[in-house]
Amino acid sequence: SEERKIQANNVRKGAVIYLCGEPCVVKDYTFSKPGKTGSKKAFFAGKSLKNGRKYEEVVPLASFCKLAEIYYH
């Protein structure tokens, strides 16, 4: 199956993406302004669907995040 991705600047609260290799529900996000030598960044904080732990990740705003697929039984 094809891997689904979303650009970091389009991620919102409630989205399910991979943070630190874990499928997580995004609970909070912020976007930073570009610095003197760097590009804009996105900061994501989420809760794992597997173990309930909190994960945080910082990625370039123009990069893509892998969407997690959820299957309900």
Which H, E and C letters describe the chain, residue by residue?
CCCCEEEHHHCCCCCEEEECCEEEEEEEEEECCCCCCCCCEEEEEEEECCCCCEEEEEEECCCEEEECCCCCC
Query: Tens of pLDDT along the chain (73 residues)?
Result: 578 999 999 999 999 999 999 999 999 999 998 878 788 999 999 999 999 999 999 999 999 999 998 777 6
Q: What is the pLDDT of residue 1?
A: 52
Q: What is the pLDDT of residue 60?
A: 93
